Structure 1
Amino acid sequence: MPKTNPPSLASRASLHGGLAFEFDFPSASLEVLAGKMPALMALATTEGALIFSNGHFELLDGAGDTVESDTEAGLFPAPLRLSLTKQANPHDTVFMQALRYLDGSEHIYEIHRFKVPAVEEGRTELICTLGVCQTSPTNTSPPQFDPLTGLANRAQLYEQLRRAIDYGRVHRECVTVMMLNIDRFKNINDSLGVGAGDDVLIQISEILRNVLRDNDTVARLGSDEFILLLDKVDNPHHITKIADKILNAIGQPLNICGHEITCTASLGVSQFPIHGDSIDLLLKHADEAMARAKSEGKNRYKIYTAQMSERTVDALLMENDLRRALEQDEFILFYQPQVHLRTGKIIGLEALIRWQHKTKGVISPLDFIPLAEETGLIEEVGAWVLAHACERFHHWLKQGLSLGKVAVNLSARQFRQAHFAETVVEALNKSKLPPQYLELEITESLTMQDTDEVLQTLGYLNKLGLSIAIDDFGTGYSSLSYLKKFPVNKLKIDRTFIHDVGSELDDGAIAKSIIDLAHNMSMLVVAEGVERLGQSRWLYDQGCDQVQGYYFCKPLSENELLKLLYSEKVFRDSNGDCFIV
């Protein structure tokens, strides 16, 4: 639709209840003048109702329509809105703001906000916003700022790093580089949308500015990756204090789209000349240290060591071995019983993949599943698990063993692959396993991605007769309104919420809430990671339906499982039902 001219001051006033604003010259002349200005100009009431805006806003990416926007909030791009909230007096201030044009170019504006007093008693006081672009039209040098956050971009970072390293060589000083990555940032984008993700990036950028000193450099390289260049910081004790300060500041709750969200970050540190004598080496080693922090649980920092590079080489070798593992039949399944808490009956088995490496022995999925997801091999690996679990469970059914259902974990990438439902049907048909004996476990964040497609796929699978469970419930950003729509049969409480229940550190409010939520929505609930009698008793008292964990049984190979089922630890009735004694 073609753009129309912005409304005049007079028409704007009439749209907002006849607000009066008088000038010493005709308003039509002011409109022409404002429209021709090579700058942003907007007038609004102190409550934010928009009176006038010129066409310069139409250049900006993320700005509202100059005709249809009735408020400043509807007109201003998100970075400008957020910066205004950070000003001590947003009605009287001057600050610099990076803004992106629709053509992708980035520009720095000097924003002026000031009050325009009413010319007569009883008239309305207005707020004027002027934005003067500081980027010369003839300046063809590369942009120096990230358009979303206003931080230094890659070009400026490399220039600052070059200068710091040159200075360090001459004066024999260290240069400290930190690489910061927001943990589970993709979950925020998938659950709340890209706009919410941008708000998170903007707010975390502001946090980093406030935590660090003016002579430090904060840069955004892309997505949720930030680089911090610390000026004259070489003492390990000081590095530790700064890293802790950064992580604590980022860990404070953020208000995103009306939701209170707590973020964490992983931080990697490298230093010139100890860990490298070039920009690329310093960034590479900071990245490896950051990856180690993520692999050890996230929300922490790590300083680079040479062993981390060795681990990177090991990961490359593991990828090559992983590609051969399917061909060489090196994967095996372990099974962990799910137990009815009140009767002790085994009502399900969760199929858990292990890698029987030819030289390294049994490898945990924690060590190779992330790599399989990263390389795209998870689709083949997931299909193997599904087919093999169905085949073995049908085999046990024919032997007269009644073990409820077999549960198979699905990764988000596996679920979203084309023809996934057909893959499930093929596994059932090939194994001859009736659908009611199969349970698929999906992640909570998956329910917020492409919800119409997810709903359609889950609906189809549910009509086949199989069950759907949401795994690790409580750790994502699911919407209860979506949850109500989905054909979900079971919620699995993540182990982190029951770790301390039944002990002196008892904090079971979240676990209790999930149990009540599941029952109110006519769902079953299973608690993962039950390792102590106290946890089991607490869950029993709260009405939890099912449990799974080492207190009842660890994951077992097929031979170990059969040995258990035929042992004195399990009672089998005439129907083949199995009860843990």
Structure 2
Amino acid sequence: MDKTKRYPVNIVFSYLMLSSSWILFSDLAVEALSNDLQEHAFFQTFKGLVFIVMTSFLLWVLVKKNNRDLESANDLDSVTGLHSPSVFFRYLKKRLKSSDTSDRYILFLLDIDDFKTIADQIGFENTHAFLKDVARSIELPVEHQLLSSRVHSDGFASLIKLNDTEQIESHIALVHRRFSECAYRYDIAATCCIGAALFPSDGNNAKQLMASATHALGQAKKSKNAIEFHDPKLTELERHRQEMVLELRKAIDEKTLEVVFQPKYNIKSKLVVGVEVLSRWTHERYGVVSPEVFIALAEEHQFCRDLTMLVLEKTSHQLRTCGLLGKELNSVSVNISAVELNSVDDMDYLDNYLRRDPDFARLLCLEITETAILKDIDQCARAVQKLKKQGVSFSIDDFGVGYTSFSIFNKLDVDEIKVDRSYIKDLETNYRSRAITSGIIDIARGFGIHAVAEGVENAQQLAILETLNCEQAQGYYLGYPMPSQQLRESLTSETEPCSIA
């Protein structure tokens, strides 16, 4: 029996038991108190009045509870659990009315494109589940309490207190990305539009702010899958960002991104023991785009896997063409994103790709970050174990800057850890950096794995690393990232590519 049917049954049963017990025991009590006829009548009247008072009080409690339940039910959207529109607008007015002019709020409206088509495609139950997921993607954890609502069938609203422009842009971009992830989970090509307005610049009360956000959403829906701010400057920044995403997608599809190779040296022998592969994007209009920028864009828009595949293909082809694969080089390191590492589908795709190129797989070392591992260490362990069967080795990149746990080494069979460059930078002047670096090197030695120092920029840093028994190093002092042909010339020339003695 469901809750709606069980609740009235419980009330009736409880009342029946209370009434029966009262009548039975009160009559026995009256008979025990007196045998006088007048007193008996008085007590009967008195117990009847008490019963009326008791049942009236019980009825009052039940009515109050029912009204409270009805109010609560009306306060929440039954599908998503978010605030109802009436509650949202009431709270919005109250929040903005009590705010100072120095406070900065952003109100954004999210609307799903072609919602009816999507609902018809996935069915009633899946549509409700999808809307719940979208609601969770909006309710992101932020420093200040947010206020969110499902304002109509496929529309959502949210008010957040955020301070600087970068924080606002990144939050809206994250909501947009999380929506795309929801659509990906349901295997649908769903997109959304977001319109945003800022308090107090775009409106100093609830009505004005909502009107500005609605106008921005209307502009966004003209092109679909877009983000528009009521502030033209922010809209222009977002439009530039979206254009860059399209250009990056084009660059990956047309394979115009390039790869370069930075040598890794054995510190004692002064010989190259491997290379780290780095991707480079030079655009005719944007110029040289930082990897931090375009890799983050690839992660946000779910084509990081395609970027990695392009890097692997170009690396394998270029090193094989130069005659370096498996001859001059015994290790080729490639970074892999947290998004891929924590995706079963992406890891299966990578596994199938490497099966077609076993010679390259045996030399490949995948560099993963601590933060990526800690998101789902069990999934990471399964991915590592699977790829290791093909000879792939693994390195933990930027070691020491995350929340390192020794359970990483207990669960993951890694071959190398790379000391983060932030410690190497201060190696000569900061005894704490030197102590941490020494500790990381000792950890690597204790687990029987390689320790690599990255970001070595001068002879003093290299000398200290040698005294600390660090095995390998890389950095601008040892060798800049270079194209494959230049790498081949450096490795096969009679003179050393750089003097590190």
Under a length normalisation based on structure 1, what TM-score does the superposition of the two structures give? 0.51
Q: Which residue of 1 aligns with 2:356?
A: 429
User: Which residue of 209, 221, 224 corresponds with 1:278?
Assistant: 209
Out of 136, 160, 167, the position equivalent to 1:227 is: 160
Is it true that 1:418 corresponds to 2:418 in the alignment? no
Q: Which amino acid aligns with 1:404?
A: N
What is the identity, as a one-letter code, of the residue corresponding to 1:228? K
CA deviation after TM superposition for structure 1 residue 480, in Å? 1.4
- C-alpha separation in 2, matches of 1:307 and 1:138: 45
Name the one with the larger strand percent. 1
AA at the equivalent of 2:281: W
Question: 2:448 corresponds to which residue?
Answer: 522
2:435 maps to 509
Asked if structure 1 preserves the Cα contact closer than 8 Å seen for 2:260 and 2:481, the reply is yes
Amino acid in the other structure paired with 2:160: I
Cα deviation, residue 563, structure 1: 4.6
Q: 1:275 to 1:368 in 2, by over 3 A?
A: farther
1:493 matched to 2:425? The reply is no
The answer on whether the counterparts of 1:346 and 1:579 sit within 8 Å (CA) in structure 2 is no
Task: Establish whether residue 137 from structure 1 lines up as the match of residue 69 from structure 2.
Answer: yes
Shift of 1:280: 7.6
Identity %: 27
- How many angstroms apart in 2 are the aligned matches of 1:395 and 1:523? 31
- 1:18-37 mapped onto 2 (5 Å cutoff): none
Deviation at 1:521, TM superposition (A): 0.8
Map of 1:547 onto structure 2: 473
8 Å contact 1:154–1:220 — kept in the other structure?
A: no
User: Taking structure 1 as reference, are residues 579 and 310 closer, same or farther at Cα in structure 2, changes over 3 Å only?
Assistant: same
How far residue 142 of structure 1 moved from its aligned partner, in angstroms, is: 1.6
The structure that is helix-richer by fraction is 2
Aligned to 1:301: none
Q: Distance in 1 between matches of 2:101 and 2:485?
A: 57
With over 3 angstroms needed to count, the CA separation of the structure-2 counterparts of 1:155 and 1:327, relative to structure 1, is same
C-alpha displacement at 1:530, in angstroms? 2.0
Provide structure 2 residue ranges, at least 5 long, that are not aligned to the other structure: 1-13, 19-63, 108-139, 150-157, 168-196, 217-229
CA contact (8 A) 1:154 1:221 kept: no
- Residues 248-302 of structure 1 show CA distances to partners (whole Å, capped at 9, x for unaligned) of xxxxxxxxxxxxxxxxxxxxx95413688524858999xxxxxxxxxxxxxxxxx
Residues 524-554 of structure 1: CA deviation (Å, up to 9, x unaligned): 1112222233322222222211112122222
**CA contact 1:528–1:548 (8 Å) conserved in 2:** yes
Distance change >3 Å, CA 519–CA 318, structure 1 → 2: same
Whether the 8 Å contact between 1:393 and 1:433 is mirrored in structure 2 is: no
Gaps of 5+ in 1: 1-31, 37-131, 181-200, 209-217, 230-238, 244-268, 286-303, 572-577
Contact 1:390–1:427 (CA<8 Å) still a contact in 2?
no
What is the match of residue 41 of structure 2? none
CA 1:349/1:143 → structure 2, altered by over 3 Å: closer, same or farther?
A: same
Q: Is contact 2:199–2:209 with CA below 8 Å preserved after alignment?
A: no
Aligned to 1:215: none
Distance 1:569 1:156, change over 3 A: farther
Query: How far apart, CA to CA, are the structure 2 residues paired with 1:579 and 1:424?
Result: 39
CA change 1:273–1:526 in 2 (3 A) is same
- Given that 2:282 and 2:288 are in contact with CA atoms closer than 8 Å, whether structure 1 keeps it comes out as yes
What is the rounded CA distance, in whole Å, between the counterparts of 1:535 and 1:279 in structure 2? Answer: 57
Task: Count the aligned residue pairs.
Answer: 353
TM-score by length of 2: 0.58
Higher relative contact order (CA 8 A, sep 6+): 2
Q: CA offset at residue 464 of structure 1?
A: 2.2
Q: Distance in 1 between matches of 2:241 and 2:296?
A: 11
Q: Is the 8 A contact 1:340 1:346 kept in 2?
A: yes
Q: Which amino acid aligns with 2:304?
A: I
